[in-house]
């Protein structure tokens, strides 16, 4: 049996809207993954440390305040500095389409906007992490 | 098999409603409905409602630097119509972090205007006549007394008496532990600070609104409409109780409190929600708190169109959604109505989108004819049935919170949080399974490139704010800042009302960060832990 996928759901920055973060945490749990949700107002440093400590396969970042353009790339940089850039990172929240190329360039694998089905994200994680669905 | 129909909150809906439905729930004309402007206020808090004038049109705006925001504000006010103005402030301001704080740098000027000190308030409101606004304020969830003091000091600078203008702040600190998340201090201290503002206003500015509970953000977090009024009113009751503990008679302050809730997509349930909220409030004020004055029994409803119902997909459709919601707000008898801009699901609204949101209300008022009589839907078997049902179910939540020993133990047990999480997850599943159709999201999907103009943060805002802070700290009387801050700490340690000492610090140009840090030394900070889902 394959071991469970381990995921960190994180809220970087000061934004307090956590409906999406909690929803995806519950949906991933029900899909058989192990999920740790950081809670609000995490610094990029704290998120990277938590990811390393928990030995996660993937990090899901959620931000609705618009600060993704600074915070997401900073997290990617710190992951590289700690030599754990192999962790799969995806983003969600209110992210304008025109911002997505820059985030992908920074190493964010995919961005899922409002209205995304949770099943789509589950599928994406399983596929990218080499798990059959 | 016949199809079952449910309201958004899950109340089963029959194919037709008749007098028998009302009989079954013991509907009583005088006790359940009555006349507008009289007990139990189901039909409205005023006998003539909009026949004597339109509801207050509210605007929520604010972005970037105080300098830029002032220009936009003057532009908006140029039209001459007296509106109610809520200023959106950026997250660092809401959390008591100055713009030069490291945690602030990614967020300065982003979801609202950046305010660091009274200086920024003076810039933001330069040439704005506060007397010509129906009210002015800002949500200020965790730092209500600080923002209240800012608006008092601003009025003083403009030579106004407290009776010359009206301030309206949310100051709804406890709800932040459940949704929106802009808490600063632990719950007990948060409740104390909220109560300070209520007490100050009751004694000094009884026509101001020192609290409006933001039920709508419970909806944004995924609650049902029943939970929105059940929990929303429970928060409001907690503020009433804590103010009573200060020895203030209920009739001295009940009328200053307000409930801000959403008008939503389920049309009849929404209208019923407003009517039942008024009824619950009237009954609780009279029966639980022994309120005698009529004004204490009248729940002042500030209504906003629902943020969570707007879609990022095909955003022009949001104009239609907002129109339907605004109509429900008018038919439900709101005192203040704010229409969201069509682009709010994507970014801070553009000026053009804000204008359409105002015009929507004006078309309903002047053209649709629905405001010519009071509570025109009253007497509909369906609506009266729903109104009573929602009252019962919302009251069940209020009683559950009573049984748990009040709001603070309830928050500690995470009861409200987990009820909302369950509702939110259920809703999401229903959308994903296609049981709920959201146009443009799970049906009628189009491949599209949005043409909505996104407002970007000007990268110079943060530099400007930091530079202004540097100059401020050089020019202000630093002895006076030190004195007022240490006096504040002293008063906080003695459990005094903090509005006046905060006002002294504000007038000495202490920054919001400095004032907040002083309070953190006394009360500590609240941190949300991590959660394991397995």
What number is the ipTM of this complex?
A: 0.92
∠ CA B272-B278-B280, nearest 5°, is 95
The answer to whether residue A40 is domain-embedded is: yes
Report the residue of A13, A14, A44 to disrupt the B interface, i.e. the one with the largest count of B CBs within 10 Å: A14
* Residues in chain A within 8 Å Cβ distance of B533: 25-26, 28-29, 34-37
Rounded to whole angstroms, the Cα distance separating B231 from B235 reads 6
B1–A contact, CB cutoff 8 A: no
- What is the span of the domain harbouring residue A57? 6-128
String of DSSP letters for B264-317: -SSHHHHHHHHHHHHHHHHHIIIIIT---SHHHH--EEEEEE-STT--SSSTTH
Q: Which of A16, A42, A102 to mutate to test the interface with B (most CBs of B within 10 A)?
A: A16
Mean per-residue pLDDT, B28-32: 96
> Residue B336 — pLDDT band, cuts 50, 70, 90?
very high
How far apart CA B343 and CA B357 sit, in angstroms, is 11
Whether the Cβ atoms of residue B504 and residue B492 lie closer than 8 Å to each other: no
Candidate from B107, B531, B534 with C-beta closest to A65: B107
> Per the CB < 8 Å rule, is B182 touching A16?
yes
Interface of B with A in 151-210 (CB under 8 A): 176, 179-182
By the 8 A CB rule, do B392 and B383 touch?
no
Record: contact B533-A67, CB cut-off 8 A: no
Contacts of A118 in chain B (CB under 8 A): 428, 432
A-contacting residues in B 412-431 (Cβ below 8 Å): 421, 424-425, 428
Tokens of B53: 């004038």
Number of domains in chain A: 1
**What is the mean pLDDT of the segment spanning B269-296?**
98
How far away is chain A from the Cα of B429, in angstroms, using its nearest Cα? 9
Q: Tell me the pairing of strands B257-263 and B211-214.
A: parallel
pLDDT, one tens digit per residue, over B478-514 is 999 999 999 999 999 999 999 999 999 999 999 999 9
Domain boundaries, chain B: 5-63+170-432
For helices B415-432 and B225-244, the axis angle rounded to 10 degrees is 160
Q: pTM of the entire structure?
A: 0.95
Residue B451 has pLDDT above 70, yes or no: no
At B449, the pLDDT band (50, 70, 90 cuts) reads low
Instruction: Judge contact between B61 and B354, C-beta under 8 A.
Output: yes
Contact A18 B181 (CB under 8 A): yes
Q: Which of A19, A36, A113 sits opposite B532 (nearest CB)?
A: A36
Q: Is B452 helix (H, G, I), strand (E, B) or coil?
A: coil
Least confident among A74-78, B286-290, B453-457, B483-487: B453-457
| B116-145: average pLDDT | 97
For B189, residues 6+ apart whose C-beta sits below 8 A from its C-beta are B519, B522, B523, B524
Tell if the CB–CB gap between A65 and B111 is shorter than 8 Å: yes
The model's pLDDT over B321-331, given as tens digits with 9 standing for 90+, comes to 999 999 999 99
Reported as a single tens digit per residue, the pLDDT across A49-66 is 999 999 999 999 999 999
B15 inside 8 A of chain A by CB: no
What count of residues does chain B have? 534
pLDDT tens, residue by residue, B228-265:
999 999 999 999 999 999 999 999 999 999 999 999 99
Q: How confident is the model at residue B344 (pLDDT cuts 50, 70, 90)?
A: confident
**Is the residue at A1 inside a domain?**
no
Question: What pLDDT digit, counting tens, does each position of B407-434 carry?
Answer: 999 999 999 999 999 999 999 999 899 8
- Rg of chain A over Cα atoms, rounded to whole angstroms, equals 13
Cα–Cα distance for residue pair B534/B525, rounded to 1 Å = 29
Distance CA B127, CA A125 (A): 54
Degrees (nearest 5) of the Cα angle B263, B265, B268? 80
Q: Is residue A108 part of a domain?
A: yes
Our CA-based measurement puts residue A25 at a distance from the nearest CA of chain B, in whole angstroms, of 7
B451 in contact with A, Cβ within 8 Å: no
pLDDT one-digit tens code per residue, B37-67: 999 999 999 999 999 999 999 988 898 999 9
| Packing angle of the helix pair A19-30, B415-432 (nearest 10 deg) | 70
Number of other CB atoms surrounding residue B168 within 10 Å: 28
Indicate the residue of B179, B313, B457 with minimum beta-carbon distance to A115.
Answer: B313
Domain containing A56 — which CATH number? 3.40.50.280
A133 belongs to a structural domain: no
Evaluated on CA atoms B96, B97, B99, B105, the torsion sign reads negative
Whether A41 and B181 lie within 8 Å, measured CB to CB: yes
- Give the per-residue pLDDT at A1: 61
Beta-carbon contacts of residue A12 (< 8 Å; ≥ 6 apart): A42, A43, A44, A47, A61, A63, A67, A71, A72, A75
Quick one: CATH architecture of B5-63+170-432? Alpha-Beta Barrel (3.20)
Q: Please check whether residue B533 touches A, CB under 8 A.
A: yes
Low-confidence ranges of chain A (pLDDT < 70): 1, 132-133
Residue A6: φ, ψ to 5°:
-110, 130
**Beta carbons of B449 and A97 less than 8 Å apart:** yes
B432 at the A interface (CB within 8 A)? yes
Instruction: Give residue B269's pLDDT.
Output: 98
A30 in a structural domain: yes
Under the banding of pLDDT at 50, 70 and 90, the label for residue B350 is: confident
- Both tokens of B28, joined, read 């009583």
């Amino acid at each position: 049996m394959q071991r469970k996928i381990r995921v960190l759901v994180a809220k970087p920055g000061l934004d307090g809207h956590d409906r999406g973060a909690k929803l995806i945490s519950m949906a991933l749990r029900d899909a058989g993954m192990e999920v740790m949700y950081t809670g609000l107002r995490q610094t990029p440093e704290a998120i990277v440390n938590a990811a390393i400590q928990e030995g996660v396969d993937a990090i899901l970042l959620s931000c609705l305040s618009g600060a993704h353009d600074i915070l997401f790339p900073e997290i990617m940089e710190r992951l590289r500095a700690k030599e754990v850039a192999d962790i799969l990172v995806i983003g969600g929240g209110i992210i304008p389409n025109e911002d997505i190329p820059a985030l992908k360039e920074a190493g964010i694998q995919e961005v899922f906007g409002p209205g995304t089905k949770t099943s789509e994200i589950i599928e994406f994680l399983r596929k990218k992490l080499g798990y059959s669905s | 098999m016949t199809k079952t129909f449910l309201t958004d909150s899950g109340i089963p809906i029959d194919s037709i409603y008749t007098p028998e439905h009302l009989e079954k729930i013991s509907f009583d004309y005088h006790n359940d409905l009555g006349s507008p402007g009289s007990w139990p206020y189901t039909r409205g808090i005023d006998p003539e409602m909009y026949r004597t004038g339109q509801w207050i049109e509210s605007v929520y705006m604010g972005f970037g630097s105080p300098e830029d925001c002032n220009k936009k504000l003057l532009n908006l006010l140029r039209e001459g119509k007296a509106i109610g103005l809520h200023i959106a402030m950026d997250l660092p301001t809401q959390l008591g972090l100055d713009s030069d704080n490291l945690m602030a740098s990614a967020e300065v000027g982003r979801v609202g205007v950046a305010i660091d000190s009274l200086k920024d308030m003076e810039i933001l409101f330069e040439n704005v006549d506060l007397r010509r606004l129906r009210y002015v304020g800002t949500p200020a969830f965790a730092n209500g007394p600080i923002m209240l003091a800012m608006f008092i000091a601003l009025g003083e600078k403009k030579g106004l008496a407290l009776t010359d203008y009206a301030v309206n702040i949310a100051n709804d600190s406890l709800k932040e532990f459940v949704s929106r998340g802009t808490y600063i201090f632990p719950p007990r201290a948060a409740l104390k600070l909220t109560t300070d503002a209520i007490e100050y206003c009751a004694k000094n500015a009884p026509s101001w609104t020192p609290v409006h509970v933001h039920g709508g953000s419970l909806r944004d977090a995924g609650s049902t409409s029943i939970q929105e009024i059940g929990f929303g009113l429970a928060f409001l009751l907690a503020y009433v109780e804590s103010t009573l503990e200060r020895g203030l008679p209920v009739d001295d302050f009940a009328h200053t409190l307000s409930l801000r809730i959403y008008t939503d997509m389920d049309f009849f349930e929404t209208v019923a929600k407003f009517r039942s909220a008024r009824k619950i409030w009237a009954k609780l004020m009279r029966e639980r708190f022994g309120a005698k004055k009529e004004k204490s029994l009248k729940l002042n409803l500030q209504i906003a169109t629902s943020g969570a119902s707007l879609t990022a997909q095909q955003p022009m459709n949001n104009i239609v959604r907002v129109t339907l919601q605004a109509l429900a707000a008018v038919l439900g008898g709101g005192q203040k109505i704010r229409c969201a801009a069509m682009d709010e699901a994507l970014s801070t609204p553009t000026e053009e989108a804000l204008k359409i949101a105002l015009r929507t209300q004006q078309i309903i008022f002047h053209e649709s004819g629905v405001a010519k009589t009071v509570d025109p839907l009253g007497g509909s078997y369906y609506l009266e049935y729903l109104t009573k049902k929602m009252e019962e179910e919302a009251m069940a939540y209020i009683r559950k919170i009573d049984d748990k020993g009040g709001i603070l133990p309830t928050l500690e047990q995470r009861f409200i949080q987990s009820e909302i999480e369950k509702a939110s997850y259920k809703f999401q599943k229903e959308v994903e399974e296609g049981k709920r159709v959201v146009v443009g999201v799970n049906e009628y999907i189009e491949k599209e490139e949005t043409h909505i103009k996104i407002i970007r943060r000007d990268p110079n805002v943060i530099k400007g704010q930091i530079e202004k802070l540097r100059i401020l700290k050089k020019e202000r009387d630093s002895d006076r800042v030190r004195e007022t801050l240490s006096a504040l700490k002293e008063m906080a340690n003695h459990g005094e009302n903090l509005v006046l000492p905060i006002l002294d610090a504000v007038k000495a140009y202490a920054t919001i960060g400095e004032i907040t840090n002083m309070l953190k030394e006394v009360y500590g900070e609240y941190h949300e832990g991590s959660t394991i889902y397995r």
